[in-house]
C-alpha cells in the first residue's frame, strides 16, 4: 500500500488544481512606471507560489516571484516583484518580441476562454523590453507559438539591489473574451539567469513545455467583465516612389507611383474580430530569416503580415507538422520549414507566377476581409476573402481567394475542425495553363489529453480542380505519448498524385510518409548534465510502383546541461532514389553524374547545439 502511494505521489503533485485567485476591482489610477507604490498593490495578495521547472521540477523556486493582478473598467493590470541574487541581469537584446530563453524575464499568459487551447502571452524583462505572442493548439510544441502578433499594451520595469519589478497594463480591447465572464485561466513563468533557474506559478513536468496551456490556474474577477466601448483601429498609409525598367521601357510600373491604402481592425464582439485591408502596403513587414535550403523541395516560412496573424491557426493550422519532441527549444526557427503540407498557406496570397519568366513575383492585393474568433465557449469560426489584381505585362490574372473554417471543442482540450478553400481565377486566358478554379475541403480531429500526455491528430483533405485528377486526396494520422521517462510518437501522411492545393503548401505529392520516434529520458542531476535522452527515429517516404524513395533512420542522443546548453546528436543511415540525373560535384558535365533510377545509401552525423546564451560569447550549430 505504501509503495502504491509513493508511485502515485508524483502524478498527484502535477495533477492537483490550485484554488482560484480572486482578481479585485480597483478604482485607483495605476501609473505604469515599474514602481509598485500604489495602495492597490499593497492590499491584494500574491498569486500562488512559483515552482522550479529547471533544473528540477519538484522543488519550490529558490527566489520568490510575487505576481499580482487587478483590473478596472478598461485594463487588466499585472505586477511582478522578481527577487534575485544580485542585480547583474542578462538581457540579450533590446528588440521587441525577444525569445525568453537565456534572458532574465517574466511572462504572463491569459487563457480568456478557459479552453486550455488558445491564449495570449505578454512578457517583459528588467529593462522593460516587451514581447507578446499568440499561443494555439495548447502550446504543446514550439511550433504553436506566433511571435509576430503585435498589439497595444504598456509595461515598465525598475531594477533594485536584490530584485526587479515590472508593471503591466493590458487594455481589454487588446484581448478577446466572452462578455460577462468572471473567470479566465492564467499562468506565469520566469527565467532567472543568475542561478540558471526557470520557474512557474503552477508545477509542470519537464517533459512538457513551460508554456503548455494544460497547466494553468483559474482566476476569478470580482465582477463580470464588460465591453469597454467601440474597439476600432485604423492604419492608413500614403507611399510614393519612382522606378525605371531600362530593359523593358513598356513596363507599366515605370515612372512615378502614388499609392494610398490602409488596414482596419474592428472588434465585432468581445470574441470575434474583423480585419480589413485595402491596397495594403507590406513594406514595413520584417524580412524573412535567411535559410539555406539544401533539399529538393520548397520550405515554408512563417506569415508575418499583421492582417493574417490573429487566429491564424483557424486558417493555416490544418495539415501535418514536423514535430520532434527531442529537438532543443531554440532549434525551432519560428515555424520555418515545420509543415509537411497544408491546404491553406496565406503567403500564397500576394504572389503569382510570371507567365513570361516562370518565376514567382509579387502580385498586388486589391482588398482583403477576414472575420475570425470565438462564437462561444465551444465554437470558433474563420472567414477570409481577398482579391489580387491583374498584371497584363507579366501575364498574371487576378484571383479571388475565399476560405471558411469552423472548429468545435470536444472533451477538455480537443476539437473537430473543417476547412474549405476556393481560388477563382478571374481571367485564366491571360496566362499559361491557368485553371479557372481550385478548391480544397478538409476535416480534422485534434486530440490533447487534459494532462498533455496524449496528443494526436487525424485529417482528410480532398482537392477539386478543373481537370478532375484522380487520387486528389491527402490524409494522415499522428499520436504521441509523453511522460517523464519516455516518449513515443507515430506519424504518417499519405498524399495522392492528384492532390492539388494551389493556395496551400504541398512541396511533394504521391507519397506515403511514416515517422516513428521512441526515446527514453534520464535525469542524473550531475554537476554537468541535467537530463539526457536516447532513442531511435525513422522518417521514410515511399511511392506507388517505385517503393522507398527517401529514408533517414538512426539513433539519437539529446542532452540538457545544467548550464542551460542543449544538444541533439543523431547518427543516420540515409537512402535516396534519384528521379533524374544528378551532377553531385557541379562539374557542368565534365565528370560522371549519378544516373536517374539509381538508389544510394550513405551515412551522416547531425548536430543541433546551443551553448549557454547567458555568456557574452555563445555558439549555436544547426544542420
Band (pLDDT 50/70/90 cuts) for residue 28 is: very high
Instruction: Kindly state the percentage of the chain with pLDDT values over 70.
Output: 95
Residue 285 three-state SS: coil
Contacts of 579 (CB under 8 A, 6+ apart): 549, 596
Distance CA 501, CA 442 (A): 11
The domain limits of the chain are: 14-221, 295-509, 516-623
Distance CA 164, CA 182 (A): 31
What pLDDT was estimated at residue 353? 86
- pLDDT at residue 330 above 90? no
- pLDDT at residue 384 above 50? yes
Burial group, residue 284, by CB count within 10 angstroms (0-12, 13-18, 19+): exposed
What pLDDT was estimated at residue 286? 74
List % helix, strand, coil for the chain (3-state, nearest 5).
5, 45, 45
- Reported as a single tens digit per residue, the pLDDT across 462-507 is 999 988 889 999 999 999 999 999 999 999 999 999 999 999 999 9
Q: Are 478 and 454 in contact (CB under 8 A)?
A: no
Q: Are 457 and 477 in contact (CB under 8 A)?
A: yes
User: Cα(first)–Cα(last) distance of the chain, in Å?
Assistant: 50
Strands 599-610, 620-621: pairing is antiparallel
- pLDDT at residue 5 above 70? no
Rounded to two decimals, the pTM is: 0.90
Q: Mean pLDDT throughout 169-179?
A: 92
- Reported as a single tens digit per residue, the pLDDT across 599-613 is 999 999 999 898 988
164: left (phi over 0), alpha (psi -120 to 50) or beta: beta
- What is the torsion angle, in degrees rounded to the nearest 10, for the CA atoms of residue 98, residue 102, residue 105 and residue 106? 100
Band (pLDDT 50/70/90 cuts) for residue 591 is: confident
Lowest-confidence region among 38-42, 328-332, 339-343, 390-394: 328-332
- pLDDT at residue 336 above 80? no
Q: Are 92 and 103 in contact (CB under 8 A)?
A: yes
CATH number of 14-221: 2.60.40.1190
- pLDDT at residue 230 above 80? no
Closest CA to 117 of 272, 273, 313, 271: 313
Closest CA to 58 of 107, 9, 2: 9
Distance CA 107, CA 114 (A): 18
CA 154 to each of CA 30, 42, 102: distance values in angstroms, whole numbers, following the listed order: 12, 21, 23
What is the average pLDDT score of the chain? 90
Lowest-confidence region among 44-53, 112-121, 137-146, 253-262: 253-262
- Reported as a single tens digit per residue, the pLDDT across 366-383 is 999 999 999 988 999 999
Distance CA 469, CA 497 (A): 8
CA 462 to each of CA 394, 435, 436: distance values in angstroms, whole numbers, following the listed order: 31, 17, 18
Distance CA 608, CA 330 (A): 9
Band (pLDDT 50/70/90 cuts) for residue 568 is: very high
Q: Are 104 and 126 in contact (CB under 8 A)?
A: yes
- pLDDT at residue 153 above 60? yes
Distance CA 108, CA 77 (A): 11
Residue 475: phi, psi to the nearest 5?
A: -145, 160
What pLDDT was estimated at residue 184? 97
Distance CA 503, CA 403 (A): 10
Q: Mean pLDDT throughout 402-407?
A: 98
Closest CA to 295 of 553, 550, 23: 550
Q: Are 561 and 529 in contact (CB under 8 A)?
A: yes
Cis peptide before 55 (omega within 30 of 0): yes
Band (pLDDT 50/70/90 cuts) for residue 3 is: very low
Distance CA 608, CA 610 (A): 7
Distance CA 330, CA 620 (A): 9
- Reported as a single tens digit per residue, the pLDDT across 62-95 is 999 999 999 999 999 999 999 999 999 999 888 8
Q: Mean pLDDT throughout 278-301?
A: 79
Residue 21 three-state SS: strand
Closest CA to 265 of 224, 298, 235: 235
CA angle 25, 27, 29 (to 5 degrees): 120
The number of beta carbons lying within 10 Å of the beta carbon of residue 389 is: 16
Burial group, residue 468, by CB count within 10 angstroms (0-12, 13-18, 19+): exposed
- pLDDT at residue 333 above 80? no
Residue with the bigger pLDDT between 619 and 122: it is 122
What pLDDT was estimated at residue 337? 58
- Reported as a single tens digit per residue, the pLDDT across 451-460 is 999 999 999 9
- What b/e string do you get for 524-555 counting C-beta neighbours within 10 Å, with b at 16 or more? eeeeeebbbbebebebbbebeeeeebbbbbbe
Closest CA to 353 of 387, 399, 385: 399
DSSP class of 582: B
Burial group, residue 349, by CB count within 10 angstroms (0-12, 13-18, 19+): buried
- pLDDT at residue 595 above 70? yes
Distance CA 558, CA 47 (A): 35
Distance CA 316, CA 505 (A): 10
Kind plus residue range of the DSSP H or E element containing 192: strand 183-192
Strands 517-522, 529-543: pairing is antiparallel
Band (pLDDT 50/70/90 cuts) for residue 14 is: low
Contacts of 10 (CB under 8 A, 6+ apart): 58, 484
- pLDDT at residue 11 above 80? no
Distance CA 277, CA 38 (A): 42
Distance CA 24, CA 113 (A): 19
The number of beta carbons lying within 10 Å of the beta carbon of residue 454 is: 14
Amino acid at each position: 500500500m505504501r509503495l502504491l502511494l509513493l508511485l502515485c505521489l508524483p502524478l498527484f503533485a502535477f495533477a492537483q488544481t490550485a484554488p482560484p485567485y480572486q482578481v479585485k476591482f480597483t478604482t485607483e489610477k495605476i501609473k505604469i512606471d515599474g514602481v509598485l507604490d500604489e495602495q492597490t498593490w499593497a492590499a491584494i495578495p500574491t498569486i500562488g507560489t512559483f515552482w522550479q521547472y529547471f533544473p528540477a521540477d519538484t522543488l519550490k523556486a529558490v527566489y520568490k516571484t510575487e505576481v499580482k493582478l487587478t483590473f478596472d473598467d478598461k485594463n487588466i493590470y499585472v505586477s511582478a516583484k522578481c527577487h534575485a541574487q544580485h542585480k547583474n541581469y542578462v538581457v540579450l537584446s533590446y528588440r521587441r518580441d525577444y525569445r525568453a530563453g537565456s534572458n532574465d524575464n517574466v511572462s504572463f499568459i491569459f487563457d480568456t476562454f478557459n479552453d486550455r487551447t488558445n491564449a495570449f502571452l505578454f512578457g517583459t524583462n528588467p529593462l522593460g523590453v516587451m514581447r507578446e505572442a499568440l499561443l494555439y493548439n495548447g502550446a504543446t510544441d514550439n511550433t504553436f507559438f506566433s511571435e509576430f502578433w503585435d498589439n497595444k499594451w504598456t509595461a515598465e520595469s525598475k531594477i533594485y539591489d536584490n530584485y526587479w519589478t515590472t508593471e503591466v497594463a493590458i487594455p481589454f480591447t487588446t484581448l478577446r473574451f466572452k462578455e460577462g465572464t468572471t473567470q479566465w485561466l492564467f499562468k506565469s513563468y520566469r527565467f532567472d539567469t543568475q542561478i540558471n533557474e526557470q520557474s512557474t506559478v503552477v508545477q509542470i513536468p519537464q517533459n512538457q513545455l513551460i508554456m503548455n496551456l494544460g497547466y494553468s490556474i483559474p482566476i476569478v474577477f470580482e465582477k463580470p467583465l464588460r465591453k469597454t466601448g467601440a474597439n476600432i483601429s485604423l492604419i492608413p498609409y500614403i507611399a510614393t516612389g519612382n522606378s525605371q525598367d531600362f530593359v523593358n521601357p513598356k513596363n507599366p510600373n515605370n515612372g512615378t507611383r502614388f499609392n494610398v491604402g490602409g488596414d482596419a481592425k474592428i472588434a465585432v464582439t468581445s470574441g470575434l474580430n474583423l480585419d480589413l485591408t485595402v491596397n495594403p502596403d507590406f513594406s514595413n513587414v520584417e524580412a524573412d530569416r535567411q535559410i539555406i535550403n539544401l533539399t529538393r523541395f520548397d520550405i515554408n516560412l512563417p506569415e508575418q503580415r499583421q492582417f493574417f496573424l490573429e487566429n491564424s491557426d483557424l486558417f493555416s493550422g490544418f495539415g501535418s507538422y514536423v514535430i520532434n519532441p527531442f529537438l532543443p527549444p531554440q532549434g525551432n526557427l519560428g515555424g520555418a520549414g515545420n509543415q509537411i503540407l497544408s491546404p491553406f498557406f496565406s503567403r500564397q496570397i500576394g504572389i503569382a507566377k510570371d507567365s513570361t519568366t516562370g518565376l514567382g513575383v509579387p502580385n498586388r492585393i486589391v482588398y482583403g476581409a477576414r472575420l475570425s474568433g470565438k462564437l462561444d465557449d465551444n465554437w470558433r469560426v474563420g472567414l477570409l476573402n481577398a482579391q489580387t489584381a491583374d498584371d497584363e505585362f507579366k501575364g498574371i490574372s487576378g484571383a479571388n481567394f475565399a476560405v471558411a473554417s469552423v472548429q468545435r471543442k470536444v472533451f477538455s482540450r480537443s476539437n473537430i475542425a473543417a476547412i474549405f478553400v476556393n481560388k477563382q481565377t478571374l481571367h485564366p486566358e491571360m496566362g499559361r495553363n491557368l485553371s479557372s478554379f481550385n478548391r480544397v475541403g478538409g476535416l480534422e480531429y485534434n486530440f490533447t489529453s487534459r494532462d498533455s500526455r496524449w496528443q494526436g491528430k487525424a485529417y482528410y483533405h480532398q482537392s477539386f480542380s478543373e481537370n478532375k485528377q484522380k487520387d486528389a486526396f491527402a490524409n494522415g494520422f499522428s499520436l504521441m505519448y509523453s511522460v517523464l521517462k519516455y516518449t513515443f510518437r507515430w506519424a504518417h501522411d499519405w498524399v495522392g498524385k492528384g492532390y492539388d492545393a494551389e493556395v496551400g503548401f504541398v512541396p511533394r505529392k504521391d507519397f506515403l510518409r511514416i515517422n516513428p520516434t521512441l526515446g527514453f529520458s534520464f535525469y542524473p542531476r550531475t554537476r554537468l548534465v541535467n537530463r539526457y535522452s536516447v532513442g531511435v527515429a525513422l522518417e521514410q517516404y515511399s511511392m506507388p510502383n517505385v517503393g522507398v524513395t527517401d529514408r533517414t533512420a538512426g539513433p539519437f542522443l539529446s542532452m540538457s546541461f545544467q548550464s542551460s546548453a542543449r544538444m541533439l546528436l543523431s547518427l543516420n543511415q540515409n537512402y535516396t532514389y534519384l528521379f533524374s540525373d544528378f551532377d553531385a560535384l557541379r562539374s557542368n558535365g565534365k565528370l560522371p553524374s549519378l544516373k536517374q533510377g539509381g538508389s544510394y545509401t550513405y551515412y551522416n552525423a547531425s548536430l543541433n547545439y546551443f551553448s549557454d546564451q547567458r555568456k557574452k560569447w555563445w555558439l549555436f550549430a544547426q544542420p
